Structure 1
Amino acid sequence: MSEFKQTFNSSLGKKLIMALTGLFLCTFLIVHLGGNLLLFKHDQGYSFNAYANFLTHFPPIEVIAYILYLAIILHAIYALVLTVKNRRARPIEYAVRTKSPASWSSKNMGLLGSILLLFIVIHMGDFWLTYKYKHILGFKEYRTNQVTGERTVVDFNPPNQEFERSFTTDGDIEIMRVKDLHSRIQWSFSHLWYVAFYVIAMGALSFHLLHGFQSAFQTFGWMHRKYKPIIYFIGTWLFAVIIPLGFALMPVVYYFQSLSK
């Protein structure tokens, strides 16, 4: 037990924890982007509101959510500890600098991580906290004809403050009454400062993942020359390009939609 504790208290142990939590967060980003792409469906928020409701009321997902919060906290804490330790180990800059092959993203992981941490706090406060604990969201009632596929949507006034959601059927009509997180997103993404900050944060995410994804595999010793090109390809195109771009498009599209209304 003491050897186990010593291992994870060492620099290598801290890097292993960062790599493990980092890869877990990478997996989460794929799933999160997939769910958020429902925002692009022109169905008056039906799919996204149903998705948000599922995430907050399905027990296994809630358990994973708390693991996610723990992973974010551990990743941030260990990143801070390692950064401080590295600076203390070399308090004075070298008199002669050698050309380093290190990329810009690897040299600025602390800055990139700080931007992302601030973004996560604001983002969760605006959406997750509002959805879970603030009684400021409205409700929508969706009536879908299961035969024709026609759908109507109206505002819904819940019978009491404890009301969360309901799913019923009336003949061929499916009736869904849920919190309207979609309208909150429309409101948030109608503010230029929020959209700008969101896009900047996704730029930081791109550079953070460009170095972080590959670094995690190096920490675990999984950078065999046979698989190295694949890891670099996935790290670059999936995590540093496609995922940040997919997230950044959402506020931009919604902002321009708000201007046209």
Structure 2
Amino acid sequence: MSEFKQTFNSSLGKKLIMALTGLFLCTFLIVHLAGNLQLFQNDEGYAFNVYANFLTHFPPIEVIAYLLYASILVHALYALILTLKNQKARPVKYATVNKSPTSWSSKNMGLLGSILFLFIVIHMGDFWRKYKYTDTVGFKEYRTNVITGQRTVTDFVPPADAKFEHSFTTENDVEIVRVKDLHKTVSDSFSQIWYVVLYVIAMGALSFHLLHGFQSAFRSLGWVHRKYTPVVEFIGTWFFAVIIPLLFALMPVYYCYLMHK
């Protein structure tokens, strides 16, 4: 077996893979949040639907998306391997319990990761699969006067004899955008109390997962420095473990409130 294979088959190698895939997923969270914040715009789904269309039809983004799916699977697989290995090496639980939040999250990363993986499967099945591979998502047509900024929104039914995905055209001073209406799918899902509860629970799990995972990734890579480690801990705690999960959780709560007020 080569030195390269020995390295990545060792516990250290597995932790390195966990760290690299984890940091890549952290980067994705920032981009995903930036796009999903379009849901807060009061524009009848225009910005969000255009964003969703861009993600699914721009080739470089599609390549990155498949890297993302691979990273999720690899991260989950290696997490399972390391968890089982640690349990086998330490079958007897600690006699004392450290009740600090960081200690709790570090000792329950398997549980937190399982919740997140289950949520990702449900979430992708409800949105990504429907959007990409079914005809259950309808279309919207947005007509925007580029001079006045006035916009009209109507449902759009593609021709029955043609495979239609999207179109962006201009007639005189009117920009015409026809795209799949993922915004309606989101609104329908977030109107269901059980889905909102599941989403908020998953974001709570994400918060604790990142509270330990972000800082742990830097330690696994050996990027520990007396000057910079406090900065990493601050970013990991307040940005990744607080702000990002909180903003994600606000989306279903906000839509659920609008649907039931």
TM-score normalised by length of structure 2: 0.96
Cα distance in 1 between the residues matched to 2:93 and 2:68: 37
Matched, 1:225 2:226: yes
In structure 2, the residue matched to 1:144 is 144
Task: Decide whether aligned partners of structure 1 residues 89 and 100 sit closer, same or farther in structure 2, where only a CA change above 3 A counts.
Answer: farther
Cα distance in 2 between the residues matched to 1:67 and 1:232: 27
Matched, 1:191 2:192: yes
In structure 1, the residue matched to 2:38 is 38
Matched residue count: 259
Larger displacement relative to structure 2 (244-253 or 217-226): 217-226
In structure 1, the residue matched to 2:253 is 252
User: Following TM superposition, by how much is the alpha carbon of 1:28 offset from its aligned partner in structure 2, in angstroms?
Assistant: 0.3
In structure 1, the residue matched to 2:105 is 105
In structure 2, the residue matched to 1:205 is 206
User: Following TM superposition, by how much is the alpha carbon of 1:250 offset from its aligned partner in structure 2, in angstroms?
Assistant: 0.2
Task: Decide whether aligned partners of structure 1 residues 12 and 150 sit closer, same or farther in structure 2, where only a CA change above 3 A counts.
Answer: same
User: Following TM superposition, by how much is the alpha carbon of 1:99 offset from its aligned partner in structure 2, in angstroms?
Assistant: 6.0
Matched, 1:158 2:158: yes
Give the letter aligned to residue 196 of structure 1. V
SS of the aligned residue for 1:159 comes to coil
Give the letter aligned to residue 129 of structure 1. R
Matched, 1:85 2:76: no
In structure 2, the residue matched to 1:176 is 177
Cα distance in 2 between the residues matched to 1:92 and 1:177: 60
User: Following TM superposition, by how much is the alpha carbon of 1:228 offset from its aligned partner in structure 2, in angstroms?
Assistant: 1.2
Task: Decide whether aligned partners of structure 1 residues 23 and 190 sit closer, same or farther in structure 2, where only a CA change above 3 A counts.
Answer: same
In structure 2, the residue matched to 1:70 is 70
Cα distance in 1 between the residues matched to 2:255 and 2:7: 48
SS of the aligned residue for 1:103 comes to helix
- Counting aligned pairs with the same residue, the percent is 72
Task: Decide whether aligned partners of structure 1 residues 93 and 105 sit closer, same or farther in structure 2, where only a CA change above 3 A counts.
Answer: closer
- What's the CA shift string for 1:149-170, capped at 9, x where partnerless? 0000000000136210011111
In structure 1, the residue matched to 2:122 is 122
Give the letter aligned to residue 187 of structure 1. D
Give the letter aligned to residue 52 of structure 2. A
Cα distance in 2 between the residues matched to 1:117 and 1:27: 17
- What's the CA shift string for 1:211-253, capped at 9, x where partnerless? 0000000101112111011001100010000000010000000
In structure 2, the residue matched to 1:7 is 7
Task: Decide whether aligned partners of structure 1 residues 191 and 139 sit closer, same or farther in structure 2, where only a CA change above 3 A counts.
Answer: same
Task: Decide whether aligned partners of structure 1 residues 57 and 98 sit closer, same or farther in structure 2, where only a CA change above 3 A counts.
Answer: closer
SS of the aligned residue for 2:84 comes to helix
Cα distance in 1 between the residues matched to 2:219 and 2:80: 20
SS of the aligned residue for 2:110 comes to helix
Cα distance in 2 between the residues matched to 1:93 and 1:238: 32
Cα distance in 2 between the residues matched to 1:134 and 1:18: 33
- Contact persistence 2:98–2:104 (CA under 8 A): no
Kindly report the root-mean-square deviation, in angstroms, between the aligned alpha carbons of the 2 structures. 1.4
Cα distance in 2 between the residues matched to 1:22 and 1:30: 13
Cα distance in 2 between the residues matched to 1:14 and 1:98: 27
Cα distance in 2 between the residues matched to 1:72 and 1:219: 18
Cα distance in 1 between the residues matched to 2:236 and 2:96: 29
Cα distance in 2 between the residues matched to 1:91 and 1:144: 64
Runs of 4+ in 1 over 4 A off after TM superposition: 96-102
Cα distance in 2 between the residues matched to 1:118 and 1:234: 26
Task: Decide whether aligned partners of structure 1 residues 151 and 98 sit closer, same or farther in structure 2, where only a CA change above 3 A counts.
Answer: closer
